Amino acid sequence: MSSVDFISKIPEKPPVACPICREEIQPEDKVLGHQVNKLAVHNFHENCLTTWTAAYRSCPLCRARISSINGQPILNEAAQLQPVVTALMQRGEAVERAARDGNLEEVQLLLANRAPIGYWDRLNALEHAILHGNLEMVRLLLATGFPLRREIKLFKLAFSNADLEIGRLLLTHITLTDWDLFLIIKEAPSHLRPEVVRLMIESGIDSANLSSLALDATFSGFIDVPLAQALLANRATIPISHRLAVIYGNFIYCRFGVAAFLLKNWVWSS
């Protein structure tokens, strides 16, 4: 396996997400990276990569062995930590296996000291817990390790099982963008979309998000009267210009029933 040296880098433009924490690398952030080839570079937040190399000796993306950071060898330190690394890996695999078996007590025992487990082990364990409909296991896994960002697959699993309580829990623990919210609604079963919107409103979605959802749902062609009714519940937070754009969009796409409902309730009743 090839070895690489991580060195300080200038943040890329436009900003890209750090593969470890999933947050965007801003211009003022300290960055470590290595050149994969003439066109590609793997960049990470300095703090994230430093934390990573305390337990792992390979690049989180390409798995190339990390030989040094800014010329300082780390192999000896990593070698000393190999027993810890092995224990962490075994622990993460054990948590995932227990979640797959639906064994809440074993997961609780493995996570009793809140020690971290691997990101992917935790994510896979969450998927199993959601498929089992185990709310307490989901709650425990969400509270362990780094905050999750943009993992919309978890919402798809929850709402495919019509599990609104797990969906509510995910909304309070996972950071989402406007586009993520839109995809979550779009991929939810059509009969559950109004309930998903209500969950989002209860979770503190702001008026800008709500306006974006109304517009995106209209011009993507999946808005219907029940979904419009759910959005209508907070109509006071949607600017009149956005309301008219939504109504216009439904007219031009020949969804006259939705347009008429919105015209009556979003404009005349305001």
pLDDT digit string, tens, across residues 193-218: 888 888 887 887 765 566 667 666 76
The backbone torsions φ and ψ at residue 149, rounded to the nearest 5 degrees and listed phi first, read -135, 130
Token pair belonging to 149: 């960002």
Q: Which residues contact 153 (CB under 8 A, 6 or more apart)?
A: 127
**pTM recorded for the entire structure:** 0.58
pLDDT digit string, tens, across residues 118-141: 788 889 999 999 999 999 999 999
Residue 86 has pLDDT above 80, yes or no: no
Find the helix or strand (DSSP H, E) in which 194 lies. Answer: helix 193-202
Report yes or no: 213 and 197 within 8 Å, Cβ to Cβ: yes
pLDDT on residue 234:
57
- 39-57: average pLDDT: 82
Residue 45 has pLDDT above 80, yes or no: yes
